[in-house]
Amino acid sequence: MKKEQLSISLPVFGTQYDSVPFSQFSTIDFKEVIEKAIETSLKEVTLIANNYKPATFENTIKALTYSRLRVDRLTSILFNLNSAESTDRLQQQAQAVSPLLSDYTSNIRLNALLFKRIKLVYKQREQLGLSGEQLTLVEKTYKDFVRNGALLRNRKNRLREIDKELAFLKLKFSENLLSENQLYMEHITDPSEVKGIPLYALEMAKEEAIKRNVDGWIFTLSFPLYTAVLKYADNRKLREKLFIAYHSRCTHNNLYNNNKIVLQIASLRRERSRLLGHENYATFVLEERMAETPEIVQVFLNKLLKDTLPKAKEELDTLKNFAEKHKENTPNYDGSFQQWDFAYYAEKLKQQEYHIDDNLLKPYLFLDKAVQGMFAVANKLYGLHFQVTHEVEVYHPEVEVYVVTNTIGDYIGLLYTDFFPRAGKRNGAWMTTYKNQYIDLEGYNSRPHVSIVCNFTRPTTTEPSLLTFNELTTLFHEFGHALHGLLSNITYPNLSGTNVARDFVELPSQLMEHWCYEEKALQLFAYHYQTGEPLPIEWVQKIKAAGKFMENILTLRQLNFGFLDMAWHNIKNNHEINSVKYIEETVSLTKELYPTTKEVCISNSFSHIFSGGYAAGYYSYKWSEVLADHTFKIFKDRGIFNKEIALHFKNEVLSKGCSEKEKTLYERFINLYP
């Protein structure tokens, strides 16, 4: 494919499954091809806006929906690569493209002639004989324009400026965090200082040292290494160093400090919301969420806090007593229980109470087998088959691609998997798409391309990739998102898959985690990677029991993130947005349990709300958890592989995207099982 061919209007690459030709994009100037796609799209939008014929669903709403497919496809490639395989070149191109996209979106949403036609269709929508999905598309299109300035008489230019600046700041926040993660390292040469750390983590740290041509071990903020140190290192000073380094990222006096960026993002979001008639960003965002208002979110969080905090304090007292009894075995423990002591002593107490720990479990959680087990669960529930293919290009040699089909062999979509940390890849785990599902203009069901990206323990010279139990649940979590994308089966691309409210999108993902605790599911894949012996049945019961271990302290941590998010976005006055530390200290729940650590400042690395899509929405994890627990109970009571329930869940939730209100979708499913 020649470079200039990428500027054609149709979002088709001419490859098998219409997959991304990554090798072509390794030398392509994204700015150039996206500019051409934007130019073509805006020409189509102008034709729609200037159409002399009366506005209809077909010639206005539907036409507009399909006008940006090419732009969306290209930008998804750029920004997905910038997260999973970033380079200086990609970062520069993302920075160059970001303002183009902001202008492009503003040029559409602030087009008065176009909005006039949309408004006409919206006003007549009940008399047009539209399907439920078409009606939803009309309403969402109208609201999207209104919520992005279409009704503004003045200050449209200021809205443009804000959107452009926010796009740049969010991108810069993310790039700073990636650079800061890569910058930090702790070099150790004395074997006595790494006692307690498991062999797999020491081998990872040794490989890091070899890369840098030094002796000993290099500990980075790569999540598998970081968690291994916090959980197992007897060296308390090392735990403290890594904990503080991780929780103070982008706060230092260097190029990657996000302090000003955080304040600017929060201030601009509030200004933007007030331009559009809302008190603040939380009221603006929640208007379109299941929770609806900041007051409902605060009540929800406060109720959880009231239930959780006393129990969390009891759990911590138990842990403190345990630590005190064992302090002679821990260098430097002075009786002052700190945040970097929690994971270490919690793991030791868990081992004592349940006689199980990740090091015992890991040999049974071989990544390759876990992936096959995950696929087997999806097969039992939804009749899906996953066949690895080498005919589809990938962006890195470690990425694998699976062709997904149903029970009768129909093509469902592509699933990309990318599991290991590396330079240029941001921390964490996420699901994303390279192509949404939709029915194209010729009536063909264009199937989705979905990717799950993680940072699991990578293979070492002596062992394959063996997962911690937390990594196993992360794998199933992201796969739940992937199923939501893959099983989408509606008409319009901007309503499909995971394009749903944030407090609903975590339902499928958190639901899938439940299968990790079920014996019948574990029997599909949990075998010792060397001996082939199955995971002992008595361990399964211990895993389920240990799943509730210290759950209130962990819940309090999640609530802390939720309250911090709301503090940034439920602001009443601009003067509140003048100090990151002030916001943090005002809402911090950690002070209820631990001594204050002055270096800790999580806002500057809180990517979910400052560069991701969870601003004024981090509460969604706990909100969706309630929905997921209720849903799994239906399976649990009738069989965890009950195909009838799975079919209903697929038909009423997973396949529907946001073609109806999320509350309607959920209640329709739940009401089948009173």
Just list the catalytic residues: 478
Separation of alpha carbons 632 and 448, rounded Å: 26
- DSSP-derived secondary structure letter, 458: P
Residues 384, 412: contact at Cβ < 8 Å? yes
**251 closest CA partner among 183, 317, 311, 351:** 183
Kindly give, in sequence order, each residue whose CB lies less than 8 Å from that of residue 113, ignoring residues fewer than 6 positions away. 49, 50
The span from the first CA to the last CA of the chain, in angstroms, equals 55
Which two three-digit tokens encode residue 466?
Answer: 């063996």
**133 closest CA partner among 62, 187, 182, 71:** 62
Identify the H or E element spanning 430: strand 430-435
Identify the H or E element spanning 608: helix 607-610
Give the CA distances from residue 394 to residues 23, 77, 427, 674, in Å, rounded to whole numbers and listed in that order: 8, 12, 20, 46
Residues 552, 312: contact at Cβ < 8 Å? yes
In the Cβ-directed half-sphere of 271, how many Cα atoms lie within 13 Å? Answer: 18
Residues 229, 253: contact at Cβ < 8 Å? no
Measured over the CA atoms of residue 26, residue 10, residue 431 and residue 280, the dihedral's sign is positive
Separation of alpha carbons 606 and 583, rounded Å: 13
Separation of alpha carbons 109 and 552, rounded Å: 45
Separation of alpha carbons 322 and 344, rounded Å: 11
Separation of alpha carbons 348 and 351, rounded Å: 5
Residue written as token pair 């800061």: 180
φ and ψ at residue 204, rounded to 5 degrees = -65, -45
Residues 17, 403: contact at Cβ < 8 Å? yes
User: Beta strands 385-389 and 217-219: pairing type?
Assistant: unpaired
Identify the H or E element spanning 400: strand 400-405
User: Beta strands 449-453 and 411-418: pairing type?
Assistant: parallel
Which two three-digit tokens encode residue 283?
Answer: 């009221």
Separation of alpha carbons 313 and 61, rounded Å: 54
**290 closest CA partner among 523, 497, 592, 502:** 502
Which SS3 state, helix, strand or coil, does residue 214 take?
A: coil
What is the CA 542 to chain-centroid distance, rounded?
29
CB atoms within 10 A of CB 154: 7
Separation of alpha carbons 33 and 13, rounded Å: 13
